[in-house]
Amino acid sequence: MNISLIPFAGDSCCNPGSIGYIKKIVENKIPGIYVLSLEIGNNPVEDVENSYFMNVNKQVTLVCDKLAKDPRLQGGYNSMGFSQGGQFLRAVAQRCPSPPMFNFISIGAQHQGVFGFPRCPGEKSRICDWLRKMLDFGVYTKVIQERLVQAEYWHDPVKEEEYRKNSIFLADINQEKGINETYKKNLMALKKFVMVKFLNDTMVDPPASEWFGYYRSGQAKETIPLQESSLYKEDHLGLQQMDKAGKLVFLSVAGDHLSFSEEWFYTNIIPFLH
């Protein structure tokens, strides 16, 4: 079996202390497995820079091209994305069905986006609220959307119409700009869609996004789970059908963002990579 990995913001494909380490332990645990750690750019420095400043749609196109040209992946592969790499790989699953993706594992991904400043101490903090408003200013302008990666999954639940109209990435893959039946068909072709949520996450606001939950529309205090969202009830992506078929797997870790032990990884993730 083969696997592709995509890193998180500020990381590179081959950092020995992060994605490179994950690659190593997977290879040690599953002898003979082929692991492709995706690099966006010509070197690790470009890879890190592109995680902040390269249009996500262009990144997805590049990844699709790399996967299509890799002879060792043509029979299909499993994939694993960390943090923002998770929603980017989901876009690959939805847009590029060849070669086929079997199991998709998102670890701390922001599937409904974010609406908050990392490491901010709670929703009641005035500083957090002020920072959120500053981040929200201009985020949906064309120049910011096309040049700042994190803006492309900034989801303002108070300004839903502006988000749906101007978000060039997240609103598209979440079927909020219109219904693309191909996206739904391709995602439903997965055998398993595994979502890992970090219960003490201080980087992702709200953490519910890691399980496809989000703020109830019109405010930024109360969150609702995936099953209460219109995305699920109207089944725009096929998530309701996948859930009923046992294809959605919700895992949790009692830690901060991307904080887990080798033992937890071996027990909970490795089985989906065989």
DSSP 92-161: HHHH--SSPEEEEEEES--TT-B-S-TT---TT-HHHHHHHHHHHTTTTSHHHHHH-GGGGGB--SSSHH
Residues 91 and 183: their CA atoms lie apart, in Å, by 8
Residue 156 falls in the annotated catalytic set: no
Residue 256 falls in the annotated catalytic set: no
**Is the separation of the CB atoms in 85 and 48 below 8 Å?**
no
For residue 176, the Cα-to-chain-centroid distance in whole angstroms is 17
Question: Could you say which of 201, 209, 229, 236 is catalytic?
Answer: 201
* One-letter amino acid for residue 233 of the chain: K
Residue 243 falls in the annotated catalytic set: no
DSSP 46-96: HHHHHHHHS-HHHHHHHHHHHHHH-GGGTT-EEEEEETHHHHHHHHHHHH-
Residues 32 and 42: their CA atoms lie apart, in Å, by 27
Question: Could you say which of 37, 83, 209, 229 is catalytic?
Answer: 83
Question: Could you say which of 111, 155, 236, 257 is catalytic?
Answer: 257
Residues 122 and 200: their CA atoms lie apart, in Å, by 12
Of all helices (H) and strands (E), which one includes residue 214?
Answer: strand 214-215
Which amino acids are annotated catalytic? 83, 201, 257
